[in-house]
Structure 1
Amino acid sequence: MSKTSIEGQRPNDVRRHTFNGATMGTHYSAQCYAQADLDCISVGAELESAVQAVDQEMSNWKANSDLTRLNKAGVDVWVPISGNLAKVLVRATVIGRETDNAFNIGVGDLVDRSGFGPDCAGQFDVPKLLEQKPLKPIGQVLEVDVAQSRARKRAKVALDLCGIAKGFGVDELGRVMDRNGIKSWLVGIDGELRARGTKPMGSSWALAIERPEYDRRQALAVIEIADVAIATSGDYRHWTESEGMRTSHTMDPRTGAPLKNSIASVTVLADTCMDADAYATALLVLGTEQGIQLAREKQLGALFLVREANELRAIGTGCFADG
Structure 2
Amino acid sequence: MKLKKELKVIFLNITIVAFSLSLFGCGEVEAGKENYIMGTIVNLKAYGSKKSTRDALEAATTRLSEIENKMSVNKSDSEVSKINNNAGFKHQKVSEDIYYVLNKAMEYAKLSKGNFDITVEPLVKLWGIGTKNAHVPSLNEIERAKALINYKYLNIKSKKEAYLEKKDMAIDLGGIAKGYAADEIKTIFKEKGIKSAFINIGGNVNLLGKKTDGTPWKIGIQNPLKDKGEYMGVLTLEDKSIVTSGNYERYFIENGKRYHHIFDVKTGYPSENGIISATIVSEKSIDGDALSTTTYVLGVADAMNLIESIKGVEGVFITKDKKVYITSGLKESFELTDKTFTSKNIN
Instruction: Tell me the residue number matched to 2:326.
Output: 316
Structure 2 residue 285 is matched with structure 1 residue 273: yes
1:149 counterpart letter in structure 2:
K
RMSD, aligned CA: 2.3
1:243 counterpart letter in structure 2:
N
Structure 2 residue 87 is matched with structure 1 residue 74: yes
Instruction: Tell me the residue number matched to 2:164.
Output: 153
Instruction: Tell me the residue number matched to 1:169.
Output: 181
Q: Aligned-pair distance for 1:109? A: 0.8
- Asked whether the 8 Å contact 2:148–2:166 carries over to 1, the reply is no
Instruction: Tell me the residue number matched to 1:9.
Output: 24
Helix, strand or coil for the counterpart of 2:118?
Answer: coil
Q: Aligned-pair distance for 1:39? A: 5.7
TM-score by length of 1: 0.90
TM-score by length of 2: 0.84
Name the CA distance, whole Å, in 1 between partners of 2:170 and 2:147.
14
Q: Residues 249, 161 of structure 1: CA spacing in aligned structure 2 closer, same or farther, 3 A cutoff?
A: same
- 1:234-268 CA-to-partner distances (Å, cap 9, x unmatched) read 11121122233321111112333321122110000
Q: Residues 216, 21 of structure 1: CA spacing in aligned structure 2 closer, same or farther, 3 A cutoff?
A: closer
Would you say how many aligned residue pairs link Structure 1 and Structure 2?
Answer: 314
Instruction: Tell me the residue number matched to 2:13.
Output: none
Q: Aligned-pair distance for 1:8? A: 3.1
Instruction: Tell me the residue number matched to 2:344.
Output: none
Name the CA distance, whole Å, in 1 between partners of 2:202 and 2:308.
27
Large movers: runs of 4+ above 4 Å: 132-137
- 1:172-215 CA-to-partner distances (Å, cap 9, x unmatched) read 21122022121211212011011111123211122211100365
Instruction: Tell me the residue number matched to 2:105.
Output: 92
- Asked whether the 8 Å contact 1:135–1:256 carries over to 2, the reply is no
- 1:148-192 CA-to-partner distances (Å, cap 9, x unmatched) read 332111224211111111111111211220221212112120110
Mean CA deviation greater in 241-250 or 128-137: 128-137
Structure 2 residue 77 is matched with structure 1 residue 64: yes
Identity %: 25
Mean CA deviation greater in 210-219 or 227-236: 210-219
- Asked whether the 8 Å contact 1:59–1:67 carries over to 2, the reply is yes
- Asked whether the 8 Å contact 2:130–2:250 carries over to 1, the reply is no
The match for 1:259 among 271, 278, 289 is 271
Q: Residues 134, 270 of structure 1: CA spacing in aligned structure 2 closer, same or farther, 3 A cutoff?
A: farther
1:315 counterpart letter in structure 2:
Y
Structure 2 residue 254 is matched with structure 1 residue 242: yes
Query: Which is bigger in relative contact order (C-alpha 8 A, separation at least 6)?
Result: 2
1:32 counterpart letter in structure 2:
A
1:13 counterpart letter in structure 2:
G
Name the CA distance, whole Å, in 2 between partners of 1:114 and 1:321.
38
- 1:5-58 CA-to-partner distances (Å, cap 9, x unmatched) read 322322x32221212211022111111221244361x33321111111111111
Helix, strand or coil for the counterpart of 2:100?
Answer: helix
Structure 2 residue 192 is matched with structure 1 residue 180: yes
Q: Residues 163, 130 of structure 1: CA spacing in aligned structure 2 closer, same or farther, 3 A cutoff?
A: closer
Q: Aligned-pair distance for 1:129? A: 4.7
Structure 2 residue 244 is matched with structure 1 residue 229: no
Name the CA distance, whole Å, in 2 between partners of 1:154 and 1:196.
40
Helix, strand or coil for the counterpart of 2:320?
Answer: strand
Q: Residues 29, 242 of structure 1: CA spacing in aligned structure 2 closer, same or farther, 3 A cutoff?
A: same
- Asked whether the 8 Å contact 1:134–1:256 carries over to 2, the reply is no
Instruction: Tell me the residue number matched to 1:19.
Output: 33
2:44 counterpart letter in structure 1:
A
Q: Residues 78, 313 of structure 1: CA spacing in aligned structure 2 closer, same or farther, 3 A cutoff?
A: same
The match for 2:309 among 273, 286, 297 is 297
Structure 2 residue 158 is matched with structure 1 residue 143: no
